[in-house]
């Protein structure tokens, strides 16, 4: 509830501030101020949209803490999308007006001295400062609007395969060439009933002929009912040596109030059962030894290890029991911060698979460059990381949460090939 309240306060401040600044900008461009209730330029009508969103978000934030159905999350995410489509372009428009306006004033000084004026000499039609700034502002504001619309219409289901090849000297010979497919953060409640789109993801995964499939948590947003109907999709996943899963922070029902501890426990058990129903072997602070041609590797999984105020259910010591003698170990842990906090300092797990960040569902990635707001919250937020002989891979997620869009951060299917040899990594 603490996070929800602060998020709501921040949203209110941002909304009121943007509309206040834009209205001041509007008044500066007019010779007289319109009456407060004059439609559509009066202050009452200008702030009516802000008032509508603030009031609606207040209701939705309250409902999310007490809701008993995933439908509330679906309504919230689409309402959030509508808000972003209006208020992010507004911010871009205002900033463009202020920044370009400054440059235009500098240009005007040169115009007065005749330097640019002589260069123009009637070659280009004159345009007023007001019209020029307005057109530039509209063009700039259209960039986030178009990007968000693309993220909704195409981006959220534009599945991306990312290949990585890792080499380890302690990998048993029988597992040389082992292919692991990792998926994460399905958030089935957000996907609603987009079965056909996710069937495409299943086809892309099966086309890789994986040996092992790993799902690294957040099957749902909050409720086990979100899993109903998805058997027809995810039971089609095929892996020669097994399909393994763990739980994420959203799988415990901690984001809602429950009528009783028994109701919450029942929801949790049904979510655990759903992992099996969808074809996964769930590893809750447990491990499983995979044997092939007499050689062994270990697959371990911890329950969610998170940051306060959310409980830490993960028990790495318990998950590591019985696998000390296994030469090669893989760990699934939903939150990538767990890797730096416990995995690297305390264990010899060769490869850790995580998710959780979603890459914030927004970012820029080009060749070796990658940026996302996620980097300011998570030390390890997407892709491959290495600490001496240990590796971490953070999957960007296959589903979405909060906003039904992905912009520059497509849903990810990770393919990792393990080979025997000197420690190395090769982004295939």
- Please tell me the distance from the alpha carbon of residue 370 to that of residue 383, in angstroms, as a whole number: 10
pTM of the predicted model, to two decimals?
A: 0.90
Residue pair 18/91 in contact (Cβ under 8 Å)? The answer is yes
Given a cut of 60, whether residue 330 has pLDDT beyond it is yes
Residues with Cβ within 8 Å of residue 251, at least 6 apart in sequence: 217, 218, 219, 220, 268, 271, 304
Given a cut of 90, whether residue 84 has pLDDT beyond it is yes
Residue pair 399/186 in contact (Cβ under 8 Å)? The answer is yes
Task: Convert 69-91 into a string of H (helix), E (strand) and C (coil).
Answer: CCHHHHHHHHHHHHHHHHHHHHH
Which pLDDT score is estimated for 212? Answer: 98
Q: Which residue has better confidence, 288 or 37?
A: 288
Band (45; pLDDT cuts 50, 70, 90): confident
Which pLDDT score is estimated for 123? Answer: 55
Given a cut of 90, whether residue 97 has pLDDT beyond it is no
- Please tell me the distance from the alpha carbon of residue 95 to that of residue 79, in angstroms, as a whole number: 25
Given a cut of 60, whether residue 119 has pLDDT beyond it is no
Given a cut of 70, whether residue 135 has pLDDT beyond it is yes
Q: Which two tokens stand for residue 400?
A: 């979405």
For residue 133, what is the DSSP state? H
Q: Output phi, psi for 214, to 5 deg.
A: -120, 125
Please give the torsion angle defined by the CA atoms of residues 199, 202, 203 and 206, in that order, rounded to the nearest 10 degrees. Answer: -160
For residue 38, what is the DSSP state? S
Q: Which CATH architecture has domain 160-305+312-426?
A: 4-Layer Sandwich (3.60)
Is residue 113 helix, strand or coil? coil
Q: Pick from 195, 308, 299, 289: which is nearest to 246 by CA?
A: 299
Please give the torsion angle defined by the CA atoms of residues 196, 198, 200 and 206, in that order, rounded to the nearest 10 degrees. Answer: -130
Which pLDDT score is estimated for 129? Answer: 65
Which pLDDT score is estimated for 111? Answer: 57
Given a cut of 50, whether residue 405 has pLDDT beyond it is yes
Which pLDDT score is estimated for 117? Answer: 52
- Please tell me the distance from the alpha carbon of residue 29 to that of residue 426, in angstroms, as a whole number: 57
Band (112; pLDDT cuts 50, 70, 90): low
- Alpha-helical segments (H) within 67-211: 71-112, 115-120, 129-153, 188-191, 195-206
* Highest-scoring range by mean pLDDT, 104-118, 126-140, 237-251: 237-251
DSSP class per residue in 362-378: B-EEETTEEE-GGGGT-
Residue pair 372/409 in contact (Cβ under 8 Å)? The answer is yes
Band (1; pLDDT cuts 50, 70, 90): very low
Beta bridge partners of 289: 298
Could you give the percent of the chain with pLDDT greater than 70? 92
Residues with Cβ within 8 Å of residue 46, at least 6 apart in sequence: 19, 22, 23, 26
Which pLDDT score is estimated for 169? Answer: 97
Q: Which residue has better confidence, 116 or 357?
A: 357
Q: In the chain, where does the domain assigned CATH 3.60.21.10 lie? A: 160-305+312-426
DSSP H helix total and E strand total for the chain:
13, 15
- Please tell me the distance from the alpha carbon of residue 110 to that of residue 120, in angstroms, as a whole number: 12
């Amino acid at each position: 509830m603490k996070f929800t309240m602060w998020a709501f306060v921040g949203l209110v401040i941002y909304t009121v501030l943007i509309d206040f600044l834009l209205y001041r900008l509007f008044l500066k461009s007019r010779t007289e101020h319109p009456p407060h209730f004059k439609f559509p330029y009066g202050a009452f009508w200008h702030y009516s949209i802000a008032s509508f969103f603030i009031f609606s978000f207040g209701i939705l934030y309250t409902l999310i803490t007490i809701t008993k159905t995933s439908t509330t999350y679906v309504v919230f995410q689409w309402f959030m999308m509508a808000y972003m489509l209006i208020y992010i372009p507004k911010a871009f428009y205002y900033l463009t007006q202020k920044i370009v306006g400054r440059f235009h004033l500098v240009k005007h000084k040169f115009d007065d001295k005749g330097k640019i004026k002589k260069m123009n000499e009637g070659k280009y039609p004159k345009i007023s400062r007001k019209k020029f700034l307005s057109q530039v502002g509209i063009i700039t504001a259209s960039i986030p609007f178009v990007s968000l619309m693309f993220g909704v219409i195409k981006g959220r289901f534009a599945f991306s395969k990312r290949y990585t090849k890792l080499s380890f000297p302690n990998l048993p010979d029988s597992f040389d060439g082992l292919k692991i497919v990792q998926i994460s953060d399905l958030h089935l409640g957000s996907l609603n009933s987009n079965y056909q789109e996710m069937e495409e993801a299943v086809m892309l995964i099966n086309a890789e002929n994986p040996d092992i499939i790993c799902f690294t948590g957040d099957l749902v947003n909050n409720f086990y009912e979100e899993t109903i109907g998805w058997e027809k999709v995810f039971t089609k996943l095929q892996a020669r040596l097994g399909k393994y899963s763990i739980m994420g922070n959203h799988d415990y029902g901690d984001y809602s109030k429950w009528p009783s501890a028994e109701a919450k426990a029942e929801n949790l058990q049904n979510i655990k059962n759903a992992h099996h129903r969808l074809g996964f072997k769930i590893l809750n602070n447990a491990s499983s030894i995979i044997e092939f041609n007499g050689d062994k590797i270990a697959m371990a999984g911890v329950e969610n290890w998170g940051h306060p105020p959310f409980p830490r259910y993960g028990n790495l010591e318990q998950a590591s029991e019985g696998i000390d003698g296994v030469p090669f170990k893989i760990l699934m842990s939903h939150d990538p911060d767990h890797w730096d906090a416990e995995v690297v300092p305390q264990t010899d797990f060769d490869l850790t698979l995580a998710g959780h960040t979603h890459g914030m569902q927004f970012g820029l990635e080009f060749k070796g460059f990658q940026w996302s707001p996620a980097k300011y919250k998570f030390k390890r937020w997407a892709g491959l990381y290495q600490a001496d002989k240990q590796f971490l891979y953070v999957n960007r997620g296959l589903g979405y949460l909060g906003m039904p869009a992905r912009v520059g951060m497509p849903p990810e299917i990770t393919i990792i090939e393990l080979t025997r040899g000197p420690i190395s990594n090769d982004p295939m």
